[in-house]
Structures are given as C-alpha cells and as structure tokens.
Amino acid sequence: MHDKQYEEDIINEPRHYHQGGIDVIRFSQAQFSKEELKGFYRINAIKYLTRYDRKGKPKEDLEKAQFYLNKLKSLEE
C-alpha cells in the first residue's frame, strides 16, 4: 500500500536530513555565518550538477542542485 500523505519529498525534506528530529539545513542556518552558508550551498549545487547524469536519477539530482541554487540565491537577496 502506497500512501501519498507519507511520501518522502526527497528534494526539499529528505528523511535522512531529519533523523532524530534535527533538520540539518535549519541547524546549519542557525550555526554558520552567511558566508559559510554560501560556500555550503555553492559546493552542494556544484556537486549535484557535476554528477547528475552518473547516478541513475538525473532529474532528481538536477532538482537537488536547483534546491541549493535557490538557497544561495536567497542569501543574495
């Protein structure tokens, strides 16, 4: 049985980023400076872009890259 209500949002809220009740992205935003976050988001976007066609889920990895690009963009606004 597959329940849409409990389907994982692998791009915006992957379960492995929320284990133990901790949201890794929100935790990072509270702990690191704006410049450190820019580097983190930039590196992650590059990582997903450079290997998007090597892991078997190219669309998913491009969406992950876009997620980090959007985070980076929000820090520039």
pLDDT band at residue 4 under the 50/70/90 scheme? low
Neighbours of 48 (CB within 10 A): 20
Classify 13 as helix, strand or coil.
strand
pLDDT band at residue 5 under the 50/70/90 scheme? low
Render pLDDT for 33-73 as a digit per residue (tens, 0 to 9). 999 999 999 999 999 999 999 989 999 999 999 999 999 99
Full-model pTM: 0.78
Q: Are 52 and 62 in contact (CB under 8 A)?
A: yes
Render pLDDT for 17-34 as a digit per residue (tens, 0 to 9). 667 788 888 899 999 999
pLDDT band at residue 1 under the 50/70/90 scheme? very low
